[in-house]
Structure 1
């Protein structure tokens, strides 16, 4: 009641593949993409509680079920234009749906967000100074950014951040 529940379970397996590719498209233009596919599964079945107030697990979670809290796919793409000391980039990140409880009766839907970044670099004798500004979640998408696995009250979902802006300085020593 009102708590998340966790238990040690039998065997699980996480297997997948991750690919990354970086390609110059022109002298000042570069594309970077990454994709992850992960199959996270229960290997030996176990019993779990089907509802709140349950003190003795009574519902079977079958072998082959997805592990909660783990997206099956994630993707990232960045298109960067760097004319001289300036740098401009458009990024996209995406995640597939996520099972939020052992019985897979609830899911957080997948999402995709765009980010925009601009910056300027100065080369100095002792290193590089970079000033930048970012807009994350450029289109102000509403999405579920994280989950509370097995929440006893069914409040599994936490919202992702709204559109936000940041500025910063980055120093790289030589």
Structure 2
């Protein structure tokens, strides 16, 4: 029976050796995998670090650009404010100048109307004066004709008619 037990011990030792070899291989594989994973992580970290450094550079550049942008925006705002002030000043000046012009134009128009009215009044007065002079001459001529005419030719109705005409002429002249 000994040989069986010897063979069994040798097979057990072989199994143990195989198990050890398998364990060793597994450990080596695990170590290799771990090393590969570590190397990958290191590569990724390096890549991420590069990206992080780039990302950190971009905000710094943006931070540096921000004051420039703000300055440009402030300058634009200042220019717009200046333009608005200039426009307001122009409008105020125009409001000061144009009312004077409008007042002058209104005054000139009123003066022109007054002159027209005065000229029309002068013309009417001259016409009235001429009419009065003509009426006076007519009245004088009528009076002279009445005095020169024989009294029997003048009848009462004719005298009344002449008086009313003369009265009308005198009234017309006095109204003017």
RCO higher in structure (CA 8 A, sep ≥6): 2
Return the TM-score normalized by structure 2.
Answer: 0.14
State the structure with more CA Rg: 2
Higher helix fraction (1 or 2): 2
Higher strand fraction (1 or 2): 1
Return the TM-score normalized by structure 1.
Answer: 0.14
